[in-house]
A and B are shown apart, each in its own frame.
Chain A
Amino acid sequence: MEELLFIRQDVLPALLRGLRISLMLIIPSGLCGFALGVFVGALRVYGSPWVKRLTNGYVIIFRGFPLVVQLFIWYFGLPHIGIYLTPFLASVLGFTLCSAAYHSEYVRGAFQSIKGGQRLAAQALGFTKLEMIRTIILPQAFRRAVPGCGNELIYLIKYSSLAYMITCIELTGEGKVIASETFKYTEIFFMVGLIYLLLTSLATLSLRRIEDKLRIPGFDNYNP
């Protein structure tokens, strides 16, 4: 009884507070990361040689550095050059840039999977390059990229927990605080884990929905 009361009065409010912060980290990072990823992915396929080199370099660095290290750089490093970010902003920036690097890889693959003949057909009709990418290639590439990019979103939900390393107290952070006050590590982190599982399950379900909505006969594993 006492236990239940403790959970209701102390644990749940703290975890919900943390969950709110987590969602505030995940949603903008997910959206901006995806948008930037599509942009970078497109540049890596259709950019000039110089642009390709630049964007490829970006991906190498942001996929190669551990995310925690990237967060440390944004939060602890930038003040040395006079830029002060709040823990929250540093986290969103770190997640967005890292996530975009991964997204761009899925998007690049998707762009490259679109048959070259369709490009020729669009050109032959008088499409400008930009209009062709926007209306012919992107809608198809987007569909091909959804499964991979969805995977990246699932990762993001979980690696958002790293924000507490730079003092942005989100779900994991709140859990850590209560756990160290009460020494109920197992119970509390189990609950924290379950909440992440809930989030990833919701994300998986909505991604399935999106995939179904976008499904077109003849694309991928469509079964009429």
Chain B
Amino acid sequence: MRAMGEQKEVLKVEKVTKKYASKEVVKEASLAVNEGEIKVLIGPSGGGKSTLLQCINFLVTPDKGRIWLEGKEVLHSQKKNLYEYRQKVGMIFQDFNLFDHLTALGNVEIALLKVRKMTKKDARDRAVAELERVGLRDHIRKYPAQLSGGQKQRVSIARALAMDPKVMLLDEPTSALDPELITEVHAVIKALGAEGMTMVMATHQIGFASHLADEMLFMEDGIIVETGAPAKLLLQAEYARTREFCAKLTGRYGETR
């Protein structure tokens, strides 16, 4: 964990609510992330972590709530404002969502060309650099179907990083991976954290997350039940439900510290 310098709030989420039919999947969720901070969402599947992350960049339109990026409120009903905001928020999905018709290089390049309108050469240089950064220098010409799950997820991380995001949202980035492929993705995320990337990550990998996180948020039934430093949340949580969940996980995933 990093030393806390001057605090600059990158992302603020206030009372975001999302209903499907009559069920509230996310209920008045609020959080704030300072520059360089890493917040980790934990909690049972179906607890609303994914929906909350998707609400944050309006892939799912929240029914209520407000969001600020670097102190500026996001007006998501104004298309231009929304598109600009999304460029600054990197998103990593559980199942990678690479573009199947493009090579690793093409996947990273395309948004630089079509969204940021960079020149071909600049886009190419940047894409190559980002792919090298995630250790895929030798695979840039491969198509998604020719890459392993871990490699695919690293391409998707490179794709997000190329946009110079102010904050990254990671939605269970290793849940779809074989155990032996998880490590390579974790290494990339860890390196990002060390470089000071601001992140909000949902994960079930408690051991990994507890080393990385500045703060953990336990979410269940759409509510952020409890928030705290990893040590506190995992070992001395206030709420019985949090304790129960964490005990199960730490039991399953081994030592946390």
Within 8 A of A (CB), among B73-116: 79, 83-84, 86-87, 89-91, 93, 95-101, 110-111, 114-115
Q: Give A117 to B144 CA distance when docked, in angstroms.
A: 14
Interface of A is mostly: helix
Of the stretches A34-42, A61-69, A74-82, A118-126, the one at the interface is A118-126
Q: Give A144 to B89 CA distance when docked, in angstroms.
A: 32
Q: Give A224 to B86 CA distance when docked, in angstroms.
A: 37
Evaluate contact between A120 and B93: CB separation under 8 angstroms: yes
Set A118, A140, A216: member contacting B97, Cβ < 8 A: A118
Evaluate contact between B84 and A216: CB separation under 8 angstroms: no
Set A117, A124, A140: member contacting B89, Cβ < 8 A: A124
Q: What 1/0 mask marks residues of chain A from 118 to 137 whose CB sits below 8 Å from any chain B CB?
A: 10111111111001000110
A217 proximal to B (CB < 8 A): yes
- Across the interface, which residues of B come within 8 angstroms of A219, CB to CB? 100-101, 145
Set A120, A122, A131, A217: member contacting B145, Cβ < 8 A: A217
Evaluate contact between B101 and A121: CB separation under 8 angstroms: no
Q: What 1/0 mask marks residues of chain B from 146 to 180 whose CB sits below 8 Å from any chain A CB?
A: 10000000001001100100000000000000000
Evaluate contact between B93 and A218: CB separation under 8 angstroms: no
- Across the interface, which residues of A come within 8 angstroms of B83, CB to CB? 126-128
Q: Give A128 to B83 CA distance when docked, in angstroms.
A: 7
Set B84, B99, B114, B143: member contacting A121, Cβ < 8 A: B99
Shortest B26–chain A CB gap in Å is 17
Q: Give A115 to B97 CA distance when docked, in angstroms.
A: 8
B59 proximal to A (CB < 8 A): yes
Residue ranges of B at the interface with A (Cβ–Cβ < 8 Å): 54, 57, 59, 79, 83-84, 86-87, 89-91, 93, 95-101, 110-111, 114-115, 142-146, 156, 159-160, 163
Subset of 17 A-B contacts with CB under 8 Å: A118-B97, A118-B99, A118-B100, A120-B59, A120-B97, A121-B91, A121-B98, A124-B59, A124-B91, A124-B160, A127-B83, A128-B79, A128-B83, A131-B114, A135-B114, A136-B110, A219-B145
